[in-house]
């Protein structure tokens, strides 16, 4: 499986500010995703990061709040904009090869965000 790193690993931010989270993979991957995991909860897909085009957002998530970049096949960023305490969560990126009959997704270590 790919080695996935995220930066920062954790942060404490003030409300109204923005934070950009980076996801780096050690090999080229077709698919990159961003998830949110609220305290003690399950994982919710925010969006699919598409290389060379706009991300595909899930219902309830919008580009203005969670802008995503994916400049190449090994890197993506997620920005949490105009943060409020409700944005306090773990943000996770995951990757997949995207090959036929290969559904596996692998997760990074996560970014633990606390908004005061």
Interface with other proteins (CB under 8 A), residue from 1, 18, 82, 84: 1
Interface with other proteins (CB under 8 A), residue from 39, 42, 52, 53: 42
Task: Please say whether the beta carbons of 67 and 81 come within 8 A.
Answer: yes
| C-alpha–C-alpha distance, residues 47 and 63, integer Å | 9
Q: Which one, 75 or 106, has the nearer CB to other proteins?
A: 106
User: Both tokens of residue 64?
Assistant: 């203005």
R_g (Cα) of the chain, nearest Å = 13
Question: What mask, x for binding other proteins by CB under 8 A, covers residues 54 to 93?
Answer: --------------------------------------x-
Only one of the segments 11-19, 37-45, 66-74, 80-88 lies at the binding site for other proteins (rule: CB under 8 A); that segment is 37-45
User: Both tokens of residue 70?
Assistant: 């994916």
Only one of the segments 11-19, 69-77, 80-88, 100-108 lies at the binding site for other proteins (rule: CB under 8 A); that segment is 100-108
69: Cα separation from own chain's centroid: 10
Closest CA to 92 of 57, 44, 31: 44
Contact residues: other proteins, CB under 8 A: 1, 4, 30-31, 41-45, 92, 95-110
């Amino acid at each position: 499986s790919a080695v996935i790193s995220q930066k920062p690993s954790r942060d404490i931010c003030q409300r109204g500010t923005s934070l950009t989270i980076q996801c780096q993979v050690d090999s080229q991957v077709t698919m990159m995703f961003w998830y949110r995991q609220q305290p003690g909860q399950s994982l919710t897909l925010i969006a699919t990061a598409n290389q060379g085009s706009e991300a595909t957002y899930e219902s309830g998530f919008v580009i203005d709040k969670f802008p995503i970049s994916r400049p190449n096949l090994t890197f993506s960023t997620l920005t949490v904009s105009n943060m409020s305490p409700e944005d306090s969560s773990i943000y996770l990126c995951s990757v997949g090869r995207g090959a036929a009959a290969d559904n596996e997704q692998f997760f990074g270590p996560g970014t633990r965000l606390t908004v005061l």
